C-alpha cells in the first residue's frame, strides 16, 4: 500500500508540476519565443494544462469518463490550493536575498523566515497528500499498477542522464 501511495504521489506530482510549471510548453520555440523567455502562466493556461495532463493520463490508464471527471476535479482543486503557496515561495526568494544582503545580520529574522517556510512546506505537503489519497481512491489497483510501470520506465530512461 505504501508503495502504491508513493507511486501515485509521484504520478500526481508529475501532473501538477507539468500543469503549473513556470514557463510555457516544452523546450522548443513554441508560442512567442523560447520557453525561458516567456512569463508565468495565466490561470486559464494552468487550467488548460491540468485538463490536458488529466486527459493524457486518462488515456494511458484507460480511465472511465467518471474517473476522468474525478481526476480533473481533484487536480484542479489541488492546483487552486497549491498555486498561492507556490507564489508565496517565489516571493520568499526575494525576501531571503534581502535578509542575506542586509548590512547587519539579523539571525532572529532569518529564523522567523525559516519557520514560515517550514509552515508553508507543511501546508503544501498536507494538501498534496490529500490530493494523492483522492487520486488513489479514484484509480483501480490495475491502473495504479500501470502508473507504477510507467514510473519505473521513466526512472530507467533518466538513469543515463545522471553522472557517477
pLDDT digits (tens, 9 = 90+) for 121-157: 999 999 999 998 999 999 999 998 998 888 888 777 7
Q: Is 35's pLDDT higher than 60?
A: no
- Cα–Cα nearest to 10, from 108, 158, 151: 151
| Mean pLDDT for the chain overall | 78
Banded model confidence at residue 7, pLDDT cuts 50, 70, 90: very low
pLDDT in tens, 24-34: 444 444 455 55
- Environment class of residue 85 by beta-carbon count within 10 Å: exposed (0-12), middle (13-18) or buried (19+)? middle
* 120 against 29, higher pLDDT: 120
The pLDDT of residue 162 is: 55
Amino acid at each position: 500500500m505504501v508503495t502504491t501511495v508513493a507511486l501515485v504521489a509521484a504520478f500526481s506530482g508529475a501532473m501538477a508540476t507539468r500543469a503549473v510549471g513556470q514557463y510555457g510548453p516544452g523546450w522548443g520555440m513554441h508560442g512567442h519565443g523560447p520557453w525561458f523567455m516567456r512569463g508565468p502562466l495565466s490561470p486559464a493556461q494552468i487550467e488548460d494544462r491540468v485538463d490536458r495532463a488529466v486527459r493524457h493520463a486518462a488515456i494511458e490508464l484507460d480511465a472511465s469518463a467518471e474517473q476522468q471527471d474525478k481526476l480533473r476535479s481533484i487536480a484542479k482543486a489541488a492546483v487552486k490550493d497549491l498555486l498561492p503557496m507556490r507564489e508565496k515561495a517565489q516571493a520568499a526568494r526575494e525576501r531571503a536575498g534581502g535578509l542575506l544582503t542586509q548590512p547587519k545580520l539579523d539571525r532572529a529574522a532569518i529564523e522567523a523566515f525559516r519557520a514560515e517556510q517550514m509552515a508553508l512546506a507543511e501546508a503544501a505537503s498536507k494538501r498534496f497528500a490529500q490530493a494523492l489519497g483522492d487520486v488513489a481512491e479514484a484509480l483501480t489497483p490495475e491502473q495504479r499498477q500501470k502508473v507504477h510501470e510507467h514510473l519505473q520506465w521513466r526512472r530507467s530512461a533518466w538513469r543515463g542522464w545522471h553522472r557517477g
